[in-house]
Each structure stands twice: as C-alpha cells, then as structure tokens.
Chains A and B, each alone.
Chain A
C-alpha cells in the first residue's frame, strides 16, 4: 500500500488483535453431577494470559472446541482461584463434544464477557437469591463468593426450585450453605418423590415464608424467564424496588462482543450490556413475549 494523503476513512486507532481469538486451556479436573452436568476446572496453557481472564462472578467465557464450535458458559469458580471453572450442561452439539473430554484435554477460552452480579453493591445488605431449574450455575459462584466473605453480607436466603428431585444438582452445596449462620435455604420441587423431604410446588409459592426488609435487601434471580417474571411481581408487592432486583438473562450468542446481533433484547445486547440487569433497566422490554 503506497503512503499517500489519507482518504475518508473512519477516525480512531484500530487495535490489531482479534477479540475472537481463543486461548488454549487444559482441563485439570472434571466433576460430574448426574448424566448431563459437569464442572470443568481449566488452566490456561500460557500462565501469562491469566490476568486477562480476571472476572467478576456472573461473567462468562466463550468455551471453544476446535473444529466444532463455541458456547457461552458462565464462570462458576471463585475470582481468587488461579484455575477457571465452568459448569456445563449438555444441551447441544458443542456441549455434547465437551462432555467426552476429561483431564489432559485442551479447550479454547476467550473472555471474560458481560458484567457480574452486584456483589459490591450488596455488601452489608441482606441478599435473597432466587433460582429455578438447572439455571443455578451462573449464581452459585456468587453465593460461594459471599460465603467466603461471610462477614461482609447480612442475612443470605437461597430459594431454589427444581422440576423433579433429580434436577437438584450440587445438593451438597445447598446443605453446606444451610449450615451457615444467618442463612436460610429453601428447596422445592414440582414433582416430589418418596424421599424428597423439602418443600413442594414452584419456587414463587414459597416467598411468603421468606422474611425480607425491602430497604436492605438485594435480590439476585436466575432461571426461566417466566419464573423471574412471577418473582418480580411478588417482590414488587413486598416493596422491593426494581433497582434492587437483578436478573441474569440467557440469549443466543455467537461473538460475545456485540457484533453478531443474536442476543438482543430491545436496546440491550445481553452479551455486553448484561447478562445481568437490574429490572429497572430492562423496563418495558422484559416480559414482552417474543421480544
């Protein structure tokens, strides 16, 4: 290219590195919860790349299988851990290939993307966590984060509903949280079996037994959108402001950097503006069917 007078190009310097470039990471541990849920502890092959992967609980990475594809998976480990853990549910073509992998195998990682749960904002407040179905992975890292820093948070309530008892993965985690001081854990299922000892019904039926002071409570919700909408309705009735209710959304993502357009909800790109939103911000766009 000859150096000549500049043409009518766009202003601004261009960073030469593609944000789509995956970083190789080795699986150092695999823990399985039932048939279709596995936690993978990953270690970047290049330790010098680790600082670029510093994250907040709630953020996600794009996990890449060369020759197959890429999926958006939230990071379920503690930000202070050197390794990065992803809890992956087997739901499609790419995750089906990931399921076959184990220690010593290599995956690609790029990220972290999106924002995190408002764990700084929630400090010294009560925290109510409402989760439904298998969608608890994006929030379980945040719960662990708070318990590891227990003195910085007020009363912690975890309200978790599953369709059937077999869907209760990480059961030992719930039991461990339940034994913590100043903590309430409510587990419920739609379809109890003979050994189920906790509540029955959908998660929103159990709000009444949760004590909450709307002026000092932050709510984190993760799960199917219909559950989130019911939960928001009840929380508003109990006086919790939309600024204090946070939801984690799930959408189709190909790029995670706001280019591919698949993850839009109204004016939001879930990948870069979310995936966690205060309900106030979503406003009229949350709960419109098919938006």
Chain B
C-alpha cells in the first residue's frame, strides 16, 4: 500500500442533496460507511441509515468540562458539530483487542506445553465520513507509533489498511479548538482519500454543498465515478474564506515553538502541585485523546483453563498502577501523573516520534469533568518563565 497523490487535482462540487450518492458509491465499493451521528447527547461515528442521509442542523456547544448538542431550527448544515468524545482512534487502535490465542494441553496446572497463534481483526472495510483535520493528524501520529517504529503492529496495520477516509474541513471552531496553533488544521492537508468542505452557498444559483477533493487514487476513482462538475470559483473563494475565518476565530492556542524547552525547564514547578489539587486522575483526557496509546496486555484464561487469550486494552498514565513495578510505584501521586501526561504529550513525544502528541482537538478540555484546560496550564508555567 502506498500513499499516492491523486492525478486529478480539479476540485469538484457535490450538492448537499447528492451526499447519499457518495455514500452509495462507497457502499458499492464494499465499505461499511460510518459518519457523525448524534447519540446519547454527543457525536460519534456510527452506521449511516440505508438512505445514506445525515440529519442536518445539529450544533455543538463546548467549553471546559461542558458539552451539549442541539438541533437548530433553520440550520441545514450536515457537519455542523465539530467533534464529539470519540475520535477515529478506536477504528485503528481498538479499545480492546484480542492479540493471541493460547492453547494448552489437557494436563492440569501451569508449566504445560502450549501453542500461541496470532488473532487478526476481521478485514471489514470501513469508510469514515466526516473526519476532521485534527483527527487525520492524530492518525498520522499513531501510524508513527504502531507502524513506523522498530516493531510494526500487525493488528493496527490490518485495521489501518482497510480504512477509507473522507475528511471534512472545519469552517467553524469550537471554543476548545486550537488546531491552528498546532499546525494541524482546520483544513485537511494530507492523509485522506477524499476531503470535503461544507458550504451554505457557493453552488450553482447559491445552493449549498461541498467542495470535494481527492487525496488518493481510490478517492480520485470515486470522484470520477460520481461524474461531478468542477467546483465554481465562488465556492473555492468561500472555502478559503471559511478556513481563514475559522483559524482566526480560535479562542485557544499553545505556544508550539516554545513547548518542549518550556516544559523540560520546569519539571519542578508549583503549578504541578496546583493542578494536582483539581485533577481527579479519572483518565477521561487520555480516553478521548486521539493520540494517547498507552495500554495494558493481559491474559484472559478460559474457564476450563485449556486456553487463554492475550488481550490488549487501553490504559492511562493516570491509572495508579501505570508506573508500578512489584511494590514500587514511580508515579504514586496525581502531580506526577499529570506532569507525565502533559510533558509526554507536548514535549517528549517530539523526541520519541518527531511530532507533538497534541493535535489541538480540544477534547481533553471539553471532557475533563473539572474543566482542566491544558492551554491554561501551559500558560501558567510560561507566565513564570519569560521567553
């Protein structure tokens, strides 16, 4: 599999009413199509209805420790909700992944001969519709961890290889978003098969729809099969204006260039004690984070003890036992666990993988039950350390 740029650069115009045709085409290519669906008060990727239609008019309200979605009368936007708790991470790095099937012989007790076989995830092809630029950037970050390092992970590779990604650029940011400062959005630049920009007007006769671009051979083939007209100049201008306004309107930012040095210079700082007073160590931030990769690997033996499954399951550096070895815990206090999370995410991640572990999606701010905001924590440390 190789990442090849589409040969056809011409942006196309997909009218809003035509979106089900795109869904039908993806299904015709054997993909299960998932898109942003409001469920239990949040947005999540779920199966689209048989009609291939997405209900329009949903909007989100986000803030530190606050998330609401509601339907707005008069709004028709299909991708109006910026993001929800779930990123696309679970589709490649599964929350729970059986890795190995172990078969033991019939003798009782440990020490028996055994046979170990890898368990591969099923090869279902999934098309994700509505992937934001931050989540595409996060996927590239996870690729570096699981595929490009010394040991590539076959389970991740199998899930990754079957994805078809339809990105949707953001022309509206949530108050918790800061992708512009992390240089990951709001416009999707790479790593997608198709990229859409939703516009309320700009189509023929001022109609609503999407500017559609291919980012891979498969995406180009799909666009060609839809036989769409070239996007009108008015739409391209509207698209550009939308991205610029979105980036300019972001309410939060991280000082990306200063980051590793700033945190490394302040491994001891009173702010770590202060944030530990508020942090519940609940691990929500790491669960909603699209790049966090920490996990446990454990045995789940069968009741008859003739077999066992080795299972990988998401864990978190906020778990009390995360840095624990036989009776010794390297990070027994919340102060140390919060520091590990933030310093890893924003600084040591760059040493390890050549990019930040933060893509600016803002989920850790929204979904923190006590509203801890990493941009505020960094600013508090930066305030005591003039550049």
Residues of A within 8 A of B (CB): 1-2, 4-12, 14-22, 24, 27, 45, 65-70, 91-92, 97, 100-102, 104-108, 250-252, 254-255, 257-262, 264, 266-267, 269, 272, 284-285, 288-291
Q: In whole Å, how far is B28's beta carbon from the nearest beta carbon of chain A?
A: 11
For residue B125, CB closer than 8 A to chain A, the reply is: yes
Cβ contacts under 8 Å, B374 to chain A: none
Q: A290's contact among B4, B294, B324, B330, by CB below 8 Å, is which?
A: B330
Q: In whole Å, how far is A122's beta carbon from the nearest beta carbon of chain B?
A: 25
Cβ contacts under 8 Å, B4 to chain A: 6
User: Do A67 and B3 touch (CB < 8 A)?
Assistant: no
Q: B327's contact among A12, A91, A104, A267, by CB below 8 Å, is which?
A: A91
Q: In whole Å, how far is A134's beta carbon from the nearest beta carbon of chain B?
A: 11
Cβ contacts under 8 Å, B267 to chain A: 284-285, 288, 291
User: Given A106-B112, A254-B296, are A11 and B3 neighbors across the interface (CB < 8 Å)?
Assistant: yes
Residues of B within 8 A of A (CB): 1-4, 29-30, 99-100, 102, 104, 110-116, 118, 123, 125, 143, 145-155, 157, 160-165, 191-193, 215-221, 264, 267-268, 293-299, 301, 305, 307-308, 310, 315, 317, 321-327, 330-333, 335-336, 339-340, 343-344, 347-348, 351-352
User: Do A7 and B218 touch (CB < 8 A)?
Assistant: yes
User: Do A16 and B317 touch (CB < 8 A)?
Assistant: no
User: Do A7 and B216 touch (CB < 8 A)?
Assistant: yes
The CA of A24 and the CA of B100, in the complex, are separated in Å by: 14
The CA of A22 and the CA of B116, in the complex, are separated in Å by: 7
User: Do A8 and B191 touch (CB < 8 A)?
Assistant: yes
Q: Please give 4 more A-B residue pairs, beta carbons under 8 A apart, in addition to A5-B218, A24-B115, A290-B339.
A: A1-B30, A17-B118, A91-B327, A260-B297
Cβ contacts under 8 Å, A66 to chain B: 102, 104, 110, 112, 114, 116, 299, 308
Q: Which residue of B lies closest to A265 (CB)?
A: B330
Cβ contacts under 8 Å, A264 to chain B: 340, 344, 348
User: Do A252 and B325 touch (CB < 8 A)?
Assistant: yes
9 contacts between A and B (CB under 8 A): A4-B29, A6-B3, A6-B218, A7-B217, A9-B160, A17-B118, A21-B118, A100-B110, A108-B114
Q: In whole Å, how far is A195's beta carbon from the nearest beta carbon of chain B?
A: 29
Cβ contacts under 8 Å, B221 to chain A: 4-5
User: Do A257 and B351 touch (CB < 8 A)?
Assistant: no
The CA of A5 and the CA of B218, in the complex, are separated in Å by: 5
Most buried by B among A68, A252, A260: A252
Which 7 A/B pairs are nearest by Cβ-Cβ distance? A105-B111, A290-B336, A267-B351, A261-B294, A91-B326, A5-B217, A67-B301
User: Given A2-B30, A18-B100, A291-B267, are A8 and B112 neighbors across the interface (CB < 8 Å)?
Assistant: no
Cβ contacts under 8 Å, B193 to chain A: 7-8
The CA of A272 and the CA of B353, in the complex, are separated in Å by: 14
User: Do A20 and B113 touch (CB < 8 A)?
Assistant: no
Q: In whole Å, how far is A21's beta carbon from the nearest beta carbon of chain B?
A: 5
User: Do B150 and A8 touch (CB < 8 A)?
Assistant: no
User: Given A5-B216, A5-B220, A11-B3, are A259 and B301 neighbors across the interface (CB < 8 Å)?
Assistant: no
User: Given A4-B221, A20-B310, A290-B330, are A14 and B152 neighbors across the interface (CB < 8 Å)?
Assistant: yes
User: Given A2-B29, A11-B3, are A67 and B116 neighbors across the interface (CB < 8 Å)?
Assistant: no
Cβ contacts under 8 Å, B331 to chain A: 290-291
The CA of A14 and the CA of B2, in the complex, are separated in Å by: 12
